Amino acid sequence: MNDYDPERDGELLPARDVCALLHVARSTLPLWRDRGDLVGYKGRNGHWRYPSQQPTLAEARAALQGQGAP
């Protein structure tokens, strides 16, 4: 996988987890990869995986955590 670094990028998430976190359809992921909003790595099996520590996913997690705050 290209230049994936677990120390820097965190764990690799499957597309279904990324879709659930971002509340988007699976068809949105290629559009966001092409636009540069998401970084993804295509494995030998053809499945895409997404580093958990990239800005788009970190911002989504922060927004979800903030929803429960008073």
CATH number at residue 21: 1.10.1660.10
Residue 39 lies in a domain: yes
Would the pLDDT of 69 be above 50?
A: no
Residue 4 lies in a domain: no
Integer angstrom CA distances of residue 48 from 4, 33, 56, 61, 63: 13, 11, 16, 20, 24
Domain with 50 in it? 9-63
Residue 1 lies in a domain: no
How many domains in the chain? 1
Residue 37 lies in a domain: yes
Would the pLDDT of 51 be above 70?
A: yes
Residue 45 to residue 20: CA distance in whole angstroms: 22
Region 4-30: what's the mean pLDDT? Answer: 92
Range with top average pLDDT, 3-7, 32-36, 62-66: 32-36
CB 9 within 8 A of CB 52: yes
- The model's pTM: 0.82
End-to-end CA distance of the chain: 42
Residue 6 to residue 1: CA distance in whole angstroms: 11
Residue 34 lies in a domain: yes
